[in-house]
Copies of this chain bind each other. A is one copy, B any other.
Amino acid sequence: MALPRQDDDFPAWYQEVVKQAELAEPSLARGTMVIRPYGFAIWEAIQRAVDDRIKATGHQNLYFPMFIPYRLLEREAEHVEGFAPEVAVVTHAGGEELAEPLVVRPTSETIIWDTYARWVQSYRDLPLLYNQWANVVRWELRPRLFLRTTEFLWQEGHTAHETADEAVEESLKILHHVYREAYEEVMAIPVHAGRKSPSERFPGAVETYTLEALMRDRKALQGCTSHYLGQNFAKAYGVSFLNRQGEQELAYATSWGLSTRAVGGVIMTHGDDAGLRLPPALAPVQVVIVPIFRTDDERGRVLEASRRLADELEGLRVRIDDRDDLRPGFKFNHWELRGVPVRIELGPRDLDAERATLVPRLTGEKEEVPLPKLGDRVREALDRSQRGLFEDARAFRDQHTFRPNDLVEMKTLLREPGGFMLTGWCGSEECEAKVKEETKATIRYLPVEPSPPEGPCIVCGKSAVDEASWALAY
């Protein structure tokens, strides 16, 4: 079945491409999903990119239980207020009602900082640089596959430090050297690094940093967050240490997470009307060879040549689509929909002429390549695809970044063509709320370091304290 066109109905396009490419499907419990093998392989590649960088920056993995006694959640006031309405609660286990209900973690600051209280005594025990890969649950009323699901998979880093400066530095290091690299170099998604406004901060954070990307429907997606938590959790859970001056001091915290939502970002950044377009660094299948034949004799020759070719492409993720009951045209669509970066068509006439046809998903342009040169050309095409997808996405984002002069213009631009709106902002919650009310746009990010722009606040006209980037968002 043909996909809906993105311009006609982007949500329908998204839903269909996730379904037809067999990435994921809804499951029985409200808002949960099955991540199918093709979708999970994309997630595994993202995981590897993130995990490698987490370890390269000196962090270790560990694992905390997913059940958190309810009373723990209650200790940090903002945190409980933020998460209590979303949690799932276990009240019965082992055939009995529990004396105390258990919350299924919506995030793990509470149980981790309660434990850190036992691990930290002196500055010598610091920093703690830990991360876990885990499932978390936040009850969602309007779930969407990958983007917003009741249960999702993520990593959550939780670090403890001697000083505020060191903790802030950590949260920015993660933002730039772990997340931004994974997004830009592996997922080929250009991102803006920034700071959230107070109303968009993580419950309990002093500062929330974010990476924001622009999807093909001109809505923004928050790609991850990295929080500087100050001493809030250390205070709530009693994590103090003997500092270098011989005094007791509360530890400084960060936390940071990137989730399966990133898979949704890959789909919505690169996909087109024919389906997915996957960056080679992520693609479960980088090269598909489609053998073309009519007779049994041709079949034998072409399949043998396909296998030789696959051997020559060693080190790449190559699939030969040797299904006998399907026509080449069907197979082309099948792999196009699944976003495989390079297709190779190989038929008897190609073999006679010692060539093959190479078709990059990025351009769709067919090229006949002599067999001896095919290996090099495939690798070049993959490199070009990785860079090309990034460049396409960056150009698209830059074309959809505007500096409206007033709220009316901003409203118009948000409706058509949509994108990031850069304006001055006075810093007041009232002005922020007014924009949201009138346009549905929210502040996606402020500059990492506050830097007042020249113009006034787009709402009240008072002098601006920050340049805000607004957008409609997922």
Q: Which residue of chain B has the shortest Cβ distance to A33 in the bound complex?
A: B65
Residues of B close to A60: CB separation below 8 A? 37, 40-41
In the complex, are the beta carbons of A94 and B139 less than 8 A apart?
A: yes
CA distance A30 to B90 in the complex (A): 12
Partner of A89, one of B29, B40, B69, B90: B90
Residue A80 interfacial (CB < 8 Å): no
A88 near B93: Cβ-Cβ < 8 Å: yes
A1 at the interface (CB under 8 A from B): no
A61 touches B34 (CB 8 A): no
Question: Taking each of A92, A111, A134, which has the highest tally of chain B beta carbons within 10 Å of its own beta carbon?
Answer: A92
Please encode chain A, from 428 to 470, with 1 for each CB lying within 8 Å of some chain B CB and 0 for all others. 0000000000000000000000000000000000000000000
Is A316 positioned at the interface, with any CB of B under 8 Å from its CB? no
- Using CB atoms, name the residue of chain B closest to A38: B60
Of residues 68 to 106 in A, which have CB atoms within 8 Å of B's CB atoms? Answer: 68-69, 72, 84-95, 101-102, 104
Q: How far, in angstroms, from A111 to B26 measured CA to CA in the complex? A: 12
Instruction: Please pick, from B86, B87, B102, B115, the residue contacting A34 in the complex, using a CB distance under 8 A.
Output: B115
Q: Which residue of B lies closest to A138 (CB)?
A: B94
Are B93 and A90 touching (Cβ within 8 A)?
Answer: no
**Cross-chain contact B90 with A151 (CB below 8 angstroms):** no
A63 within 8 A of B: yes
Q: Is A56 part of the binding interface, using a Cβ–Cβ cutoff of 8 Å?
A: no
Given contacts A27-B65, A29-B102, A89-B93, 6 further A-B contacts (CB under 8 A): A29-B69, A67-B88, A67-B151, A88-B94, A89-B91, A93-B139
9 contacts between A and B (CB under 8 A): A27-B115, A28-B111, A35-B62, A39-B62, A40-B61, A44-B61, A89-B90, A91-B92, A93-B137
